């Protein structure tokens, strides 16, 4: 089924209220960038590279499944990070930390996402997402995770 | 589509096609190298003439019932291969997981992306979809509306969903004929008796700008001069028809007790108070300066009688409790600038703009009709909708010449017209008096999403029935007897859905009778608590009587269940199975999200405190959930585990064997 229930229309309205704290006129929606003066630009009809699309898909996956522990900005400081220390003796990896990010090796990190922490010799606190995410989604979320340390989404 | 500027690609495709034809001839069947795409139609494989040229442009996706003949994969040949996610277009693979549920074999490409599937040049193939917009980027969601005609929470289409929710919330279909996302009733409250309910000074400021009163107000701003607002106030205050509510049965009330009751009843699961809490219904931060006490008492005592269209449940308060709540709202949640005593911003001159009260009321009556207030509100003597706006379901047929572009400087496409009109309705009006449409004060992002939703509904066409996906949310549950009466009284479907019917603020209850044990349902209804520690809102406390909770628990158990799930429930587990379950539980990191005793995460329900597994869950549901949670809850966040039936049973056995007592569990 395609309909989703967890994201309620109420949270949609709430999310829109949060997303739309920006300026008023169409054209001022993206600060810092040139004003958006056409609908085609507002809907990104042109100009998004495959990497942009991959990052957007990765962000959707990350925000839904990962941010609760790893933090919205990849700081390893999500709402659910604290109890992991007590239950497993570990902290979630902080992707925005350059040292921790540099230590991540692509093949191993993707294996950890797909098969869980235990499978790569780390903690069982990291569940396996290979039954949940498609290979494409794993690749996308890995792109997005890497971007925390390199493009300054993170701290 | 590869004819220009891509000689090497075209020849590669040609070679591929030739080898394909050769293969078919030898094997007597038609195959494609990756086996994933269907072969072209047989008629095109002739050896001579123009037919042969057409046959050399494989592969062709065909779906006769959708009118699809798409050659897109001639150039976009990697759409199905995730290894090409970062390749440059047209060789990149399709992003996201939409192709998992929309196989190109069934749908082709153009139903979602527009363009001309049979075209053999890039510019023709990439023709605009609707209103000058190509179905690319976020605008692709416009195309979703062709099949998903009315869903407001459509997975994978956040902009379309958001736009539809905004359209519903603003009731655009009050004035416009509009397909998809129509509101089933009038979105505003019934105005009968409003003269007894509210303070005229409040009404003045509300009509000037509803968002001054509450940031999440649904009503738009009509941009009226003060004297016309005053005339409307004068007319509305004549709506005094109902007899005054007898308040003698209610004591004075205690604001402190009332505040505690508002908090413990979780009114903020739906209402916000000064922008904190739920956002779907109006903020209560200033309600004490809006509603007179007798109306508040009446509303709390007989909610659905006072406001028959409400989504608010009827709380089970005593008269003393109702008086306490009214005292709290009336004294703590106030803003003096909205009352006659405070007389803020122009309302001090109420009733002084017109030579006589009868002229004032007469002007107000005419304005009320002119502004079509009755399209969103019922009122004494209200009749059918008087739709005055353009028919938006025919938006796509609007001709460029019909659009009053004026001096506007942005691109002249239909989509740009709609976008700017939604964002600022007065943008095309040559004089303010010409304009009927009020201002909704949408942000740019909201305007974009409303535009996407409007263009989507205009694209809806007659489709073969098997492609139309319709939301069941607005259907009504027909539940017999006392169970049905209580489900209506407590407005269960204002938050829950039952097999898709109702709202999706909380869990679907379609198989709740298979999930939860009757005794747990009974106790939870009597005394709700926060099931998932990370949530801040929960089900309100209704103060149900024992009898009511019993009827609801029996009804849920007997009506909302699934025999197939129940049948998985005969579980006779020995210590070895429990031990196997424990090892799986630990290796899968379940504690990351769930608590056992004092250890574990805040995401899912605790397994020992509040709702111990053995007390809450029925065995069959646990087995089904652990084996494939998505089969019962498609949007679940919990990862899949790939458990076999035996493994699922072992983990279920372990969970059921957990001690009920929190202290015992943490020892």
Q: Give the per-residue SS3 of B131-174.
A: CCECCCHHHHHHHHCCCECCCCCECCCHHHHHHHHHHHHHCHHH
In this structure, how many other beta carbons lie within 10 angstroms of the beta carbon of residue A47? 10
* Predicted pLDDT of residue B497: 93
Going by pLDDT thresholds of 50, 70 and 90, the confidence category of residue A36 is confident
Residue B417 in contact with residue B202, Cβ under 8 Å? no
Nearest CA-CA partner of B61 in B111, B12, B15: B111
* Pairwise CA distance, residues B421 & B259, whole Å: 43
Say how many CB pairs under 8 Å bridge A and B. 247
Nearest CA-CA partner of B440 in A24, A41, A11: A24
Average pLDDT estimate for B471-492: 90
Query: Angle B571-B576-B577 (CA atoms, 0-180°, nearest 5)?
Result: 35
Checking if the pLDDT of B460 tops 80, the result is: no
Average pLDDT estimate for A77-84: 94
End-to-end Cα separation, chain A, in angstroms: 38
Contacts 24+ apart (CB under 8 A), B183-190: B184/B474, B185/B309, B186/B309, B186/B375, B186/B376, B186/B377, B186/B378, B187/B218, B187/B376, B188/B218, B188/B219, B188/B376, B188/B377, B189/B307, B189/B309, B189/B377, B190/B307, B190/B308, B190/B309, B190/B377, B190/B378, B190/B379
Contacts of A27 in chain B (CB under 8 A): 444
Checking if the pLDDT of B11 tops 60, the result is: no
> Residue B177: exposed, middle, or buried by beta-carbon count in 10 A (0-12, 13-18, 19+)?
middle
Q: Between B52 and B465, where is the model more confident?
A: B465
Task: Name the least confident of A30-39, A51-60, B589-598.
Answer: A30-39
* Predicted pLDDT of residue B579: 96
Q: Which two tokens stand for residue A90?
A: 């570990």
Checking if the pLDDT of B629 tops 80, the result is: yes
* Pairwise CA distance, residues A134 & B97, whole Å: 7
Do the strands B501-502 and B61-63 form a parallel or antiparallel pair, or are they unpaired? unpaired
Q: Between B191 and B16, where is the model more confident?
A: B191
Sequence length of chain B is: 667
Checking if the pLDDT of B499 tops 70, the result is: yes
* Pairwise CA distance, residues B17 & B7, whole Å: 15
How close A113 comes to chain B (CA, Å)?
A: 11
DSSP conformational letter for B88: P
DSSP conformational letter for B250: S
Backbone angles phi, psi at B260, to 5 degrees: -60, -40
Checking if the pLDDT of A21 tops 60, the result is: no
Checking if the pLDDT of B38 tops 70, the result is: no
User: What residue of B is the nearest CA neighbor of A15?
Assistant: B162
Contacts of A64 in chain B (CB under 8 A): 637
Residue B108 in contact with residue B88, Cβ under 8 Å? no
* Pairwise CA distance, residues B537 & B435, whole Å: 42
- Whole-angstrom CA distances from A75 to A54, A69, A81, A127 are 21, 9, 10, 19
Residue of A43, A49, A67, A126 to mutate when probing chain B, most B C-beta within 10 A: A43
* Predicted pLDDT of residue B355: 94
Residue B169 to residue A7, Cβ atoms within 8 A: no
Q: For chain B, give the percent of residues with pLDDT over 90.
A: 44
Tell me whether B92 touches chain A (CB under 8 Å).
yes
* Pairwise CA distance, residues B625 & B500, whole Å: 19
Query: Angle B516-B518-B524 (CA atoms, 0-180°, nearest 5)?
Result: 75
* Predicted pLDDT of residue B73: 87
Tell me whether B564 touches chain A (CB under 8 Å).
no
Which residue in the set B95, B153, B595 is minimally distant from A12, CB to CB?
Answer: B153
How close B94 comes to chain A (CA, Å)?
A: 9
Which residue in the set A2, A39, A132 is minimally distant from B154, CB to CB?
Answer: A2
| Interface list for B 283-342 with A (CB within 8 A) | none
DSSP conformational letter for A5: S
How close A107 comes to chain B (CA, Å)?
A: 14
Contacts of B87 in chain A (CB under 8 A): 50
* Pairwise CA distance, residues B623 & B581, whole Å: 12
Checking if the pLDDT of A52 tops 60, the result is: yes
Tell me whether B446 touches chain A (CB under 8 Å).
yes
- The distance of Cα A77 from the centroid of its chain, to the nearest Å, equals 13
User: What residue of B is the nearest CA neighbor of A137?
Assistant: B96
In this structure, how many other beta carbons lie within 10 angstroms of the beta carbon of residue B3? 11
H helix or E strand, kind and range, residue B606: none
* Predicted pLDDT of residue B65: 82
Residue B100 to residue A134, Cβ atoms within 8 A: yes
Nearest CA-CA partner of B183 in B201, B169, B195, B200: B169
* Predicted pLDDT of residue B51: 41
Residue A101 in contact with residue A146, Cβ under 8 Å? yes
In this structure, how many other beta carbons lie within 10 angstroms of the beta carbon of residue B387? 15
Residue B85 to residue A79, Cβ atoms within 8 A: no
Nearest CA-CA partner of B194 in B364, B348, B33: B364
In this structure, how many other beta carbons lie within 10 angstroms of the beta carbon of residue B276? 11
Average pLDDT estimate for B491-518: 92
Question: Positive or negative, the Cα torsion across B525, B527, B532, B537?
Answer: positive
Tell me whether B505 touches chain A (CB under 8 Å).
yes
- The distance of Cα B327 from the centroid of its chain, to the nearest Å, equals 34
Sequence length of chain A is: 155
Query: How does pLDDT run across B180-219, given as a tens digit for each residue?
Result: 666 667 888 889 889 999 989 999 999 999 999 999 899 9
Which residue in the set B92, B505, B634 is minimally distant from A1, CB to CB?
Answer: B634
In this structure, how many other beta carbons lie within 10 angstroms of the beta carbon of residue B121? 12
Residues contacting B127, CB < 8 A, separation 6+? B114, B115, B116, B119, B134
- The distance of Cα B411 from the centroid of its chain, to the nearest Å, equals 31
Going by pLDDT thresholds of 50, 70 and 90, the confidence category of residue A152 is low
Residue B641 to residue A128, Cβ atoms within 8 A: yes
Task: Name the least confident of A11-15, B175-179, B215-219, B346-350.
Answer: A11-15
Is ipTM over 0.95?
A: no
Residues contacting B248, CB < 8 A, separation 6+? none
Residue B281 in contact with residue B353, Cβ under 8 Å? no
Residue A54 to residue B95, Cβ atoms within 8 A: yes
Nearest CA-CA partner of A113 in A53, A65, A63: A65
Phi-psi map region of B137: left, alpha, beta (phi>0 left; psi -120 to 50 alpha): left
Q: Which two tokens stand for residue B531?
A: 């099931």
Do the strands B68-70 and B61-63 form a parallel or antiparallel pair, or are they unpaired? antiparallel
Find out whether the peptide bond into B278 is cis, omega within 30 degrees of 0.
no
Q: For chain B, give the percent of residues with pLDDT over 70.
A: 86
Helix (H, G, I), strand (E, B) or coil at B464: coil
* Predicted pLDDT of residue B35: 32
Task: Name the least confident of A127-136, B329-338, B401-410, B545-554.
Answer: B401-410
Tell me whether B280 touches chain A (CB under 8 Å).
yes
In this structure, how many other beta carbons lie within 10 angstroms of the beta carbon of residue B237? 19
Which residue in the set B420, B449, B635 is minimally distant from A4, CB to CB?
Answer: B635
Residue A88 to residue B592, Cβ atoms within 8 A: yes
Query: Angle B250-B254-B256 (CA atoms, 0-180°, nearest 5)?
Result: 150
pTM for the model: 0.82
Nearest CA-CA partner of B110 in B138, B76, B91, B135: B135
**What is the biggest distance separating any 2 CA atoms in chain A, rounded to whole angstroms?**
52
């Amino acid at each position: 089924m395609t309909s989703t229930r967890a994201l309620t229309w109420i949270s949609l309205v709430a999310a829109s209220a949060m997303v739309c704290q920006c300026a008023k006129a169409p054209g001022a929606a993206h600060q810092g960038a040139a004003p958006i003066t056409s609908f085609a630009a507002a809907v990104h009809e042109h100009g998004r590279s495959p990497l942009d699309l991959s990052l957007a898909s990765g962000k959707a996956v990350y925000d839904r499944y990962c941010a609760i522990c790893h933090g919205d900005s990849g700081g390893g400081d999500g709402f659910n990070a604290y109890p992991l220390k007590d239950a497993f003796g570990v902290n979630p990896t902080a992707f925005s930390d350059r040292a921790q990010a540099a230590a991540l090796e692509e093949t191993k990190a993707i294996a950890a996402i797909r098969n869980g922490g235990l499978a790569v010799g780390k903690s069982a606190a990291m569940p396996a997402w290979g039954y949940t995410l498609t290979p494409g989604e794993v690749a996308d979320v890995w792109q997005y995770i890497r971007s925390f340390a390199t493009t300054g989404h993170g701290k | 589509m590869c004819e220009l500027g891509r000689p090497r690609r075209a020849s590669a495709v040609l070679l591929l096609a030739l080898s394909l034809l050769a293969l078919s001839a030898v094997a007597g069947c038609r195959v494609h190298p990756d086996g994933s795409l269907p072969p072209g139609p047989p008629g095109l494989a002739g050896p001579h003439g123009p037919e042969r040229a057409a046959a050399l442009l494989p592969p062709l996706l065909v779906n006769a019932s959708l009118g699809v003949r798409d050659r897109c994969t001639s150039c976009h040949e990697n759409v199905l291969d995730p290894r090409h996610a970062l390749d440059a277009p047209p060789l990149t693979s399709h992003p996201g997981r939409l192709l998992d549920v929309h196989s190109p074999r069934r749908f082709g490409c153009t139903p979602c992306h527009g363009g001309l599937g049979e075209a053999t040049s890039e510019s023709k193939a990439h023709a605009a979809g609707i209103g000058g917009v190509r179905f690319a980027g976020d605008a692709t969601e416009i195309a979703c509306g062709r099949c998903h005609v009315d869903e407001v929470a459509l997975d994978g289409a956040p902009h379309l969903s958001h736009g539809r929710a905004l359209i519903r919330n603003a009731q655009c279909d009050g004035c416009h004929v509009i397909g998809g996302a129509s509101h089933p009733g009038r979105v505003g409250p019934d105005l009968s008796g409003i003269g007894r309910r509210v303070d005229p000074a409040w009404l003045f400021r509300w009509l000037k700008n509803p968002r001054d009163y509450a940031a999440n107000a649904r009503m738009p701003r009509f941009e009226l001069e003060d004297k016309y607002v005053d005339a409307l106030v004068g007319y509305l205050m004549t709506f005094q028809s109902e007899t005054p509510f007898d308040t003698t049965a209610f004591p004075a009330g205690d604001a402190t007790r009332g505040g505690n009751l508002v908090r413990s009843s979780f009114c903020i699961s739906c209402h916000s108070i000064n922008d904190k809490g739920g956002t779907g219904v109006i903020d209560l931060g200033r309600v004490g300066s809006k509603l007179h006490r007798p109306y508040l008492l009446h509303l709390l005592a007989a909610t659905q009688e006072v406001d028959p269209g409400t989504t608010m449940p009827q709380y089970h308060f005593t008269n003393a409790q109702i008086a306490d709540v009214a005292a709290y709202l009336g004294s703590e949640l106030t803003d003096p600038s909205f009352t006659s005593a405070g007389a803020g911003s122009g309302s001090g001159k109420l009733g002084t703009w017109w030579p006589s009260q009868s002229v004032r009321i007469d002007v107000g009556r005419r304005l009320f009709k002119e502004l079509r207030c009755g399209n969103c509100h019922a009122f004494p003597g209200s009749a059918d909708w008087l739709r005055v706006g353009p028919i938006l379901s025919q938006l796509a047929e609007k001709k460029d010449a019909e659009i009053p572009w004026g001096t506007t400087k942005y691109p002249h496409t239909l989509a740009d017209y709609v976008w700017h009109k939604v964002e600022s309705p007065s943008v095309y009006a040559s004089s303010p008096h010409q304009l009927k449409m009020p201002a909704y004060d949408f942000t740019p992002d909201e305007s974009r999403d409303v535009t996407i939703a409007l263009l989507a509904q205009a694209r809806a066409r007659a489709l073969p029935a098997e492609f139309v996906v319709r939301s069941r949310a607005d259907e009504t549950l027909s539940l017999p007897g006392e169970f049905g009466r209580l489900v209506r009284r407590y407005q269960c479907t204002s938050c829950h859905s039952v097999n898709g019917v109702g709202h999706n603020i909380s869990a679907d209850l379609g198989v709740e009778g298979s999930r939860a044990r009757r005794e747990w349902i009974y106790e939870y209804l009597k005394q709700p608590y926060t099931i998932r520690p990370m949530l801040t809102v929960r089900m309100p406390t209704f103060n149900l009587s024992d009898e009511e909770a019993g009827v609801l628990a029996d009804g849920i158990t007997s009506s909302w269940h699934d025999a197939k799930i129940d049948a998985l429930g005969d579980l006779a587990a020995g210590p070895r199975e429990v031990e196997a379950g424990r090892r799986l539980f630990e290796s899968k990191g379940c504690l990351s999200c769930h608590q056992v005793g004092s250890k574990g995460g805040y995401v899912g329900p605790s397994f020992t405190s509040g709702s111990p597994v053995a007390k809450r869950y029925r065995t069959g549901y646990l087995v089904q959930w652990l084996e494939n949670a998505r089969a019962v809850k498609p949007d679940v966040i919990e990862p899949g585990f790939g458990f076999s039936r035996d493994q699922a049973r072992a983990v279920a056995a372990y969970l059921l064997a957990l001690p009920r007592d929190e202290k015992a569990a943490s020892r």
